[in-house]
Amino acid sequence: MTSPQYDIVVVGGGSNSLTTAAYMAKAGKSVLVLEKNAQCGGGAVSVEVAPGFIHDTHATSYSGCINSPTLTADELGLYAKEGLEFGHWDAMFTSLFDDGSVLATFKEVDRTCESIAKFSTRDAETYAAFADKCISLIGLLGMGSTNPPLPTAAFLGMLEESHLGRELANSLFCSAWDVITHYFESPELQMHYFKWIAEAMEHPETKGTGVAMYQLLGLCHTTQAVHPIGGGQELSNALARSVQRFGGEVRTEAEVVKLKVESGVTKGVYLSDGEYVSAREAVVACVHPWNLGKVIPEMSDQLKEEMTWVRLSNHGACNQQVSLDREPEFRTDDPKICRETMCLELMKRKDPKEMRRSMDGFRFGELPQKDDISPLIMRASTFDKTRVPKDEYCAMYVYQFAPILDDKQDPVRWEELKQQYAEDIWDVFKTYATNIDDSNVMGRLVESPLDHHRHSASMMHGDIFGIGLPGQLLGRRPTPSISDYTIPGIEKIYLVGPFMHPGGMVTLGGRTTAIKMYQDMGIDLKEGFEGL
């Protein structure tokens, strides 16, 4: 029996893989995408928890992709041809303390400073100057995120040429907490940004997280907080349709288990049912670094050993999708901003030392005490009524950090812990809400790091960022040897996924893999990338 043949076979149907596939199909290549799940999307997926309630189970913030040329130049026609739309939030991130006070970070620096001034006028003045630094750096950081990465030495050499660049270079070797405490004195502001940095699934006291403060605030003050209308699945569906519009194919429930490599050249892929699919020009693989040696045993022993150095994030998350018969209201002195912020952090107003200590437990596999739980909630349905069957209803996302590995580096036993931990998180949420109890719940879905692991092989042990950030950025993501999306010694294979640059949240990072492929294949970049 003759096996099917394509120019390009793409392993995995997440947003990164679909992005690469669309650009290659746009270049006229015959493309096949193979996705193991029943729907494409990876982390950009939605589910119906109760009838008519659309919830995003993984990615909920899309500010990391909204400035990508894929969208700003509509290079794949996601807006014009596929009807993709985004809704916008007034504030990116707000801390609601248990005494009812709030501290909000807006796109506008002036409004953010007004919020900070309620806690410290000195910090408000300092913040204005610091935010200007971050904004001036976002062009450099943004350009780096939409192109293949420079080697680390070259990037650092470029930074060393200016005073501000040297400050940014220093942040690559210090922690976010170092940066926070260097600039700000008020406990509330310190806690606000400590928790926000931790949303990158890293302990903010880990060396190397300092750069996240500059990137986070630069992004926040230059980019609107957004969500896809209709749910995150709409972005993935639009990408899949663009692949098909350019002549490519997308197959779901098709799990790839191994690549065929002969004499150092990638020939195709084997599926779990035994089917073989041939790739004439290349295989694009979304494969976690820890699994590369299993899928491609022909890799060198040295490279396999290098993959063992790849480090996961500090923690994961226990997520809850809760379908409510009403919008939650909160005990606060500013209900308007609590309603109009994308991310609402429910926090105890206490000594930052307690928050720092509670974060320490995650690396030992320990759950926080109930008093240390500070859930984050998101409610895209507040403004996006396509997500709920009635306007007064609410599709709410509630989550709290959760350990992924214990002190022996074994996976946490989530079958035993999930339900009680979820109840503790839910109980804490209800202490902040004034109009919600269990009778208002119309549907509820709880997912632990183990559930995330089972959903996607990219989320190893529940690491929703793919791999950790410190020391694994730019030309070192995931390792220097494969950061250019290729594997030394193996031809006709390219890598894509959250563990590759730019990585982490939804970035449409498969665009950078496609740029590399165009360059290697001699395709004019102007054919695919109008936004270059």
The separation between CA 476 and the C-alpha centre of its own chain, rounded to angstroms, equals 18
Q: Quick check: 88 and 226 in contact, CB under 8 A?
A: yes
Is residue 266 one of the residues assigned to a domain? yes
Is 346 a domain residue? Answer: no
Task: List the 341-347 sheet strands across, edge first.
Answer: 102-106, 91-97, 341-347, 376-378, 394-402, 316-324, 441-447
| pLDDT, position 152 | 84
Using an 8 Å Cβ cutoff, are 501 and 323 in contact? no
Query: Mean pLDDT across the stretch 82-89?
Result: 96
The helix (run of H) or strand (run of E) holding residue 103 is strand 102-106
Distance CA 225, CA 177 (A): 24
Residues 66-81, mean pLDDT to the nearest whole number = 96
| For residues 238-264, average pLDDT | 97
Q: What angle do the packed helices 352-360 and 187-198 form, to 10 degrees? A: 20
pLDDT recorded at residue 144:
66
Q: pLDDT tens-digit profile of 3-27?
A: 789 999 999 999 999 999 999 999 9
Q: What is the CATH number of the domain that holds 273?
A: 3.50.50.60
Mean confidence (pLDDT) of the chain? 94
Amino acid at 53: F
> Which two tokens mark 143?
């350009």
What is the total count of domains within the chain? 1
Q: Which residues pair with 251 in a beta bridge?
A: 34
What pLDDT, on the 0 to 100 scale, is given for residue 143?
59
Q: Is 278 within a domain?
A: yes
| pLDDT above 80: residue 181 | yes
Encode pLDDT of 402-457 as tens digits: 999 988 888 999 999 999 999 999 999 999 999 999 999 999 999 999 999 999 99
User: Is 391 among the domain residues?
Assistant: no
SS3 assignment, position 31: strand
DSSP, res 472: -
- Range list of β-strands (E), 263-375: 265-271, 276-285, 316-324, 341-347
pLDDT at 209 over 60: yes
In a domain, 420, yes or no: no
Q: Average pLDDT of 357-379?
A: 94
pLDDT at res. 155: 85
33-51, pLDDT tens digit by residue?
999 999 999 999 999 999 9
Q: What are phi and psi of 146, to 5 degrees?
A: -110, 10
Per-residue pLDDT, averaged over 233-249, amounts to: 98
How many Å from the N-terminal Cα to the C-terminal Cα in the chain?
A: 44
Domain presence at residue 34: yes
Average pLDDT over residues 305-333: 96
**Residue 300 pLDDT level (bands cut at 50, 70, 90):** very high
Note whether residue 275 is domain-resident.
Answer: yes
- What residues form DSSP beta bridges with 268? 260, 278
Q: How high is the pLDDT of residue 147?
A: 84
Q: How confident is the model at residue 142 (pLDDT cuts 50, 70, 90)?
A: low
Q: Is-contact 218 134, C-beta < 8 A?
A: yes
pLDDT over 60 (residue 1) = no
The encoded tokens of residue 184 equal 């700000």
- At 354 the pLDDT is 87
273: domain range? 5-44+57-86+228-311+460-527
Please indicate, yes or no, if residue 402 is contained in any of the structural domains: no
